[in-house]
Structure 1
Amino acid sequence: MRKFLLIVFLAAFSIPSIAQQFSLLNDTMTKDGSAVQSEIICYNFIVNNTQDTLILRWVRKSVTAPAGWKSQICDLNACYLFDISTMIFTLLPNDTSNFDIHFWPEDISGNGFIEMYTFIEGDSANTLQTSYYKAAAYPVGIHSVNDIEINIKPNPVKDQFSIDGLENLRSPKIQIFDLLGSSMNIDPSYVTSTINVADLPKGYYFLQVSDEASGFVRTIRFEKL
């Protein structure tokens, strides 16, 4: 009996908890833009934290937006228009997928909001995660700090990369995360346009640039060679 209990105890610690089988890089995404833009995009990523292939389902739970706005959801397979409210997709072991919301303001100013559910197919009771996507479209002539574009080059990178766009932020902070969301050893208060990543192991990472004063947040995925 004791041997059986020991086996069960060890097995429990060898399997990732249900809640950690996959994760979203951000549970709330906000993007501002102009009403005359063709689209306003809230970028996000979803990560498989296991050694198993996961079959996931997303559900567009609720949508609030001005009349005339349209939206679409993009995962690793395709982008789905506003008339599709749920879809299944497969995420390979330790793989990552884009999980973005595109808003089309159609020259109409206002605010859009989408609530998303994501869960392992057949197990929404234990694995459901909620994420929120918000877009604000301003009238012509009004601009937001979130229109600032942040880019890195080169990507993939071997030793170091440069960041374009930091000069447009008041007090930028930089963080690097691995695919599990663990922060790498970089002081976010020490900001420079060139980042040395020579000591990072090979693999995929996320660079997050933020500005607390304005609420600006941008996340970019990069590959370390």
Structure 2
Amino acid sequence: MKYITLLLLFFAPFWVQAQILSFYPDTIIVDESLVLDEYNLYQIDFVNETDDTLFLSWRMIENTVPDDWFLQLCDNSDCYGTVPAYENMNPFGPGQSAFIKLDVHPEMINGTGMIRILIYKTGGDILDNDGIEFHFTAGNPTATIAPGLSDFSVYPNPADESLFVDNQTQQDLMYSLCDGRGFGRIQGALSAGTNQQLDVSDLVSGMYYLMLHTGETTEVRKIFINR
């Protein structure tokens, strides 16, 4: 079984202003490779850093996952056995958290798929939303999902003393390398068409998350340090 948890607090807490709920960035992109014939669990936790109780709903607006894969969504209200069109989450007070979790089992079927979910205030305008995208690849598919930052490369992975980040996109990026607890260890900026060498010699061996921020979206990539 493969299990990955991300805290939204990696990026910024929820905040409420003028009755509009928001987190930064506007879209979270989780790009993952699935293990064939195993359950793969992906959870994103939302921590309420406001002084108010939050009432949130979510709506699935896109699902391109192969029909033969097992797919289930859970939140802090229930596990649904599938991915419903929409649901309301249980309210959660200051300092409490809620979550959305996807359980994906691709059987032995190669393929790609994407789940796109909007999160918004219960009873509010769905246009005032924030998004989560899960991009999945299993096995050796004949087609792949075009990632948000396909011209951005990170190598070597696993890394030892140094990690190279190469931004061949046409966008300036902010990046942060976070450990498994969500603490930022290395942050910086990378202009379009440039690259940098990051010194990771002081970091302990383990799994890290490289967050690539474009201003409107964030793409998450797993980085392993092994020495």
TM tier, smaller: 0.5 to 0.7
Q: Is the 8 A contact 2:37 2:105 kept in 1?
A: no
Give, as a single letter, the amino acid of the residue that structure 2 aligns with 1:77.
Answer: S
Give 1:109's aligned residue.
Answer: 110
Q: Give 2:6's aligned residue.
A: none
Structure number with bigger Rg: 1
Q: TM-score under structure 1 normalisation?
A: 0.56
1:192 aligned onto 2:192: no
What is the rounded CA distance, in whole Å, between the counterparts of 1:18 and 1:44 in structure 2? 23
Indicate the residue corresponding to 1:63 in structure 2. Answer: 63
Which structure carries more helix by proportion?
Answer: 1
Residue 33 of structure 1 and its aligned partner are, at CA, apart by 2.3
The residue that corresponds to 1:91 in the other structure is 92
C-alpha separation between the residues in 2 aligned to 1:174 and 1:209? 5
Consecutive unaligned residues in structure 1, runs of 5 or more? 1-14, 140-166, 178-182, 195-207, 219-225
Identity %: 17
1:137 counterpart letter in structure 2? A
The offset of 1:118, in angstroms, is: 0.7
Aligned to 2:11: none
8 A Cα contact 1:109 1:138, kept in partner:
yes
| C-alpha distance after superposition, 1:117-153 (max 9, x if no partner) | 11111113463111101111115xxxxxxxxxxxxxx
Q: Distance in 2 between matches of 1:42 and 1:191?
A: 29
Question: What code does the residue aligned with 2:96 have?
Answer: D
Moved over 6 A (4+): 23-26
Which residue in the other structure is 2:82 paired with? 82
Letter of the structure 2 residue corresponding to residue 138 of structure 1: G
- Aligned-residue offset at 1:74: 1.9
Amino acid at match of 1:52: D
Structure 2 residue 222 is matched with structure 1 residue 216: yes
Given the alignment of the two structures, is residue 127 of structure 1 paired with residue 128 of structure 2, yes or no? yes
Tell me, in whole angstroms, the C-alpha distance in 2 between the residues paired with 1:125 and 1:67. 27
Against the structure 1 CA distance between its residues 84 and 215, is the aligned structure 2 distance closer, same or farther, given a 3 Å change threshold? closer
Report deviation, 1:68. Answer: 0.6
Query: What SS does the corresponding residue of 2:55 show, helix, strand or coil?
Result: strand
Asked if 1 retains the 8 angstrom alpha-carbon contact of 2:34 and 2:106, the reply is no
Unaligned regions of 5+ residues in structure 2, if any?
Answer: 1-15, 141-156, 164-176, 188-199, 212-219
Equivalent residue, structure 2, for 1:40: 40
SS in 2 for 1:29: strand
Over 3 Å counting, the alpha-carbon distance change for 1:108 and 1:175 in structure 2 is: closer
Query: Aligned partner of 1:87: which letter?
Result: E
What RMSD in Å do the two structures reach over aligned CA positions? 3.5
What CA deviation, in whole Å up to 9, does each residue of 1:103-129 have, x standing for no partner? 121221111210101111111346311
Shift of 1:90: 1.4
> Residue type matched to 1:209 in 2?
Y
Displacement of 1:191:
4.0
Q: 1:121 to 1:136 in 2, by over 3 A?
A: same
For 1:98 and 1:87, the matched residues in 2 are separated by 13
Q: Distance in 2 between matches of 1:67 and 1:47?
A: 33
Letter in 1 for 2:203: T
Spell out, residue by residue over 1:18-38, the C-alpha distance to the aligned partner (whole angstroms, 9 max, x if none).
Answer: 44555689711122123222x
TM-score (norm 2): 0.55
How far apart are 1:169 and its partner, in Å? Answer: 4.6
The 3 A distance-change label for structure 1 pair 101 and 57 is same
Give the aligned residue type for 2:46.
I
Specify whether residues 217 and 53 from structure 1 end up closer, same or farther in structure 2 by C-alpha distance, changes over 3 A only.
Answer: farther
Distance 2:105 2:119 in 1: 23
